[in-house]
Structure 1
Amino acid sequence: MTKQGDHFWFMSFVANGPRGTYATHRTGCFDIAQGATRQAAFVEILTSLRQQNPDLADATVTAFDIQPNKL
């Protein structure tokens, strides 16, 4: 099995594109440094997403969640 991050995250957005306003989401896994905060993880993930997806540069985050990646 491929190594996954120790936390799973979900983020949804409302954005404006050439065809109007639309909703979208992204998910992934993330390794959180010991002692890091939820806010620090949010900012790091959001910054990375916006760098990789210029269409999200001005998008509004409507939901975010991050949980331990284990059952």
Structure 2
Amino acid sequence: MDQDADIRFRVKHDVPVFNRPFSQVAEEYADAQQRRAKAGEISQARAMNVRNKVNGPLNAYVGSTQI
């Protein structure tokens, strides 16, 4: 109930609901892909491709945008 009230208050008063920058979320995704590559679920090349996209154009594009 408290979390619901907190979210409703934030939405009503235009306070950001989430406080993590998109770059942090993308970095966590790249780390997860690296773990999947080590487990053999995806290729190492795929994990490196994701890492290169996150560290290059994606971070330059989104900057400090929060989600």
TM-score normalised by length of structure 1 = 0.33
Structure with greater proportional strand content: 1
Question: Which structure is larger by alpha-carbon Rg, 1 or 2?
Answer: 2
Which structure exhibits the higher relative contact order, with contacts defined as CA atoms closer than 8 Å and separated by 6 or more residues? Answer: 1
Which one has the bigger helix percentage?
Answer: 2
TM-score normalised over the length of structure 2? 0.35
